[in-house]
Amino acid sequence: MSLPQIAIVGRPNVGKSSLFNRIVGRRVSIVDPTPGTTRDRVSQLVEILPPTDLPYDRARDAAPKLAELVDTGGYGVYMAEGGRFDDAGEDLTRLTPEIEAQIRAGVERATLILFVIDAQTGVTGLDERIARLVREAGRADRVLLVANKVDDDSWIGAAQDACRLGFGEPVMTSASSAFGKRAFLEAIWDRLPEWVEPVAPPEMKIAIVGRRNAGKSTLINALAGEPRVIVSEIAGTTRDSIDVRFEMDGHSFVAIDTAGVRKRKSWVDDIEYYSHQRAKAAIERADVCVLLLDAREPVTQVEKRLALELVTQHKPTVIAVNKWDLVQDKLKTSDYIDYLTQELFALDFAPLVFLSAAKGQGVDAVVRVCRNLFGQAHHRETTGRLNAVVQGILDARGPSSKLGTKAKIYYVSQIATNPPTIAIVVNKPELFEGSYERYLRNQLHEQLPFSEVPIKLVFSARKRLTPAELASRKRAGREAGDAADDDAYGD
- Segment 438-462, tens digit of pLDDT: 999 999 999 999 999 999 999 999 8
> Is the distance from CB of 167 to CB of 128 less than 8 angstroms?
no
List CB contacts of 68: < 8 A, sequence separation 6 or more: 3, 4, 5, 6, 43, 44, 45, 46
Distance in angstroms (rounded) separating the CA atoms of residues 209 and 203: 20
Instruction: Please give the CATH superfamily to which domain 204-377 belongs.
Output: P-loop containing nucleotide triphosphate hydrolases (3.40.50.300)
What pLDDT is recorded for position 353?
Answer: 96
Cis amide prior to 170 (ω within 30 degrees): no
* Comma-separated ranges of CATH 3.30.300.20 domains in the chain: 383-489
- To 5 degrees, how large is the angle CA 102–CA 106–CA 110? 175
> How many CB atoms sit inside 10 A of residue 406's CB?
11
What pLDDT is recorded for position 225?
Answer: 77
φ/ψ of 42, rounded to 5, equals -95, 125
Distance in angstroms (rounded) separating the CA atoms of residues 274 and 356: 29
What pLDDT is recorded for position 59?
Answer: 59
The residue ranking higher by pLDDT, 1 or 323, is: 323
> Is the distance from CB of 42 to CB of 239 less than 8 angstroms?
no
pLDDT band at 138 (very low <50, low <70, confident <90, very high): confident
Task: Give the relative orientation of helices 216-224 and 363-377 as an angle to the nearest 10 degrees.
Answer: 90
What pLDDT is recorded for position 9?
Answer: 87
What pLDDT is recorded for position 215?
Answer: 87
- To 5 degrees, how large is the angle CA 30–CA 145–CA 166? 140
Name the H helices within 352-397.
363-377, 383-396
> Is the distance from CB of 167 to CB of 140 less than 8 angstroms?
yes
Q: Is the pTM of this model over 0.85?
A: no
What pLDDT is recorded for position 217?
Answer: 82
Distances (CA, A) of 220 to 191, 209, 290, 488: 31, 11, 11, 49
pLDDT at 164 over 80: yes
- DSSP string covering 209-261, please? E-BTTSSHHHHHHHHHTS--S---SSTT---S-EEEEEEETTEEEEEEE-PPB
What pLDDT is recorded for position 63?
Answer: 79
What pLDDT is recorded for position 89?
Answer: 41
> Is the distance from CB of 474 to CB of 489 less than 8 angstroms?
yes
> Is the distance from CB of 230 to CB of 221 less than 8 angstroms?
no
The DSSP call for residue 186 is H
- DSSP string covering 78-112, please? HHHHT--B-TT--BGGGGHHHHHHHHHHHHHH-SE
**What residues are paired with 115 via a beta bridge?**
9, 145
Query: CATH second-level architecture of 5-191?
Result: 3-Layer(aba) Sandwich (3.40)
pLDDT band at 397 (very low <50, low <70, confident <90, very high): very high
Task: Give the relative orientation of helices 125-136 and 96-109 as an angle to the nearest 10 degrees.
Answer: 50
The residue ranking higher by pLDDT, 313 or 264, is: 313
pLDDT tens digits, residue range 194-203?
654 555 666 7
Give the CATH number of domain 383-489; options: 3.90.180.10, 3.40.718.10, 3.30.300.20, 3.40.630.30: 3.30.300.20
The mean per-residue pLDDT over the stretch 216-221 comes to 86
- The share of the chain scoring above pLDDT 90, in percent, equals 40
The DSSP call for residue 326 is G
Q: Distance between alpha carbon 38 and the CA centroid of its chain, in Å? A: 16
Q: Which of 43, 39, 38 is nearest to 68 (CA)?
A: 43
φ/ψ of 38, rounded to 5, equals -90, 120
- DSSP string covering 464-477, please? PPPHHHHHHHHHHH
* Comma-separated ranges of CATH 3.40.50.300 domains in the chain: 5-191, 204-377
Of 99-103, 116-120, 216-220, 467-471, where does mean pLDDT reach its minimum?
A: 99-103
How high is the mean pLDDT of the chain?
79
pLDDT band at 40 (very low <50, low <70, confident <90, very high): very low
List CB contacts of 455: < 8 A, sequence separation 6 or more: 314, 419, 420, 421, 422, 441, 444, 445, 448
pLDDT band at 88 (very low <50, low <70, confident <90, very high): very low
pLDDT at 345 over 50: yes
**What residues are paired with 204 via a beta bridge?**
253
